[in-house]
Amino acid sequence: MRRDEILAWVRAERLGLADFLDTLDEHEWRADSLCQGWTVHDVAAHMTLSTRTTLLVAVKGAIRARGDFNRMEADLARERAARYGPAALVEQLRETAGSARRTPGAAPLDPLVDVLVHGQDIARPLGRVREMPAEPAIPALEHVLRRRFYGARKRLRGTRLTATDVRWSAGEGPDEIRGPIADLLMLATGRTAGLAALTGAGVARVAASAT
């Protein structure tokens, strides 16, 4: 897959997310997202960081978080959310929508996963619909399944995933999970909210392991 194609997808999704964020009211910005302990404002702030986090910032953040990556990401997002209001964050997201800069250590597809999934993390708790295009969602999901960082291989071991809205499947095992590609991506990245639209013998097992 060409990097310019990936970057075009990332740019389009970032701009779309900026437009979506522009429609939210003050109450929605303060609402909880699907990311535990993160508000919508925190997630929006996080989305501006991937093109702005230098190696020095990442190292300092990791030291302060004692090597806990999730804690580091949460700390950086909350600090940025406290510093910038909604309008400023939306503008920042637009400003660097087409930037190829990535957080140190990130692969080219990681920013695509980030914007696709975090768009749902924001929209779904608000009861809003944000469509996830299937064309970029497929390589994003395949990347998540390959990359150890996301934990999907362990979470979905022995499970075959089958999309019901596009022609796609992956994995082997006695259990199957079927559903829209967007919900399979949410599940693969650890979001149990994706389970509601999924069916198959593997759903109950994955749900039980997440509780």
pTM of the model: 0.92
Evaluate if residue 52 carries a pLDDT over 60: yes
Answer for the pair 181, 141: CB distance below 8 angstroms, yes or no.
yes
Query: CA–CA separation, 76 vs 111, rounded Å?
Result: 17
The answer to whether residues 177 and 203 touch, using CB atoms and an 8 Å cutoff, is yes
Q: How remote is the C-alpha of 125 from its chain's centroid?
A: 14
Nearest one of 142, 186, 159 to 34, comparing CA atoms:
186
Work out the mean pLDDT of the chain and round it to a whole number: 92
Q: Mean pLDDT throughout 114-127?
A: 97
Nearest to 197 by CA among 186, 208, 211, 205: 186
Helix segments in 65-166, DSSP class H: 69-83, 86-95, 110-123, 134-146, 152-155
Q: Which CATH class is domain 134-210?
A: alpha beta
Please tell me the distance from the alpha carbon of residue 184 to that of residue 116, in angstroms, as a whole number.
12
Helix (H) or strand (E) holding 154: helix 152-155
Q: List, in sequence order, every beta strand (DSSP E) within the chain.
A: 159-163, 169-170, 175-179
Q: Model confidence over 91-104: pLDDT tens digits?
A: 999 999 999 999 88
In this structure, of 5-14, 129-138, 200-209, the range with the lowest mean pLDDT score is: 200-209
> What is residue 116's predicted lDDT score, i.e. its pLDDT?
98
Structure tokens, 116: 């696709």
pLDDT in tens, 135-174: 999 999 999 999 998 999 888 989 999 999 999 999 988 8
Res. 44 pLDDT band, cuts 50 70 90? very high
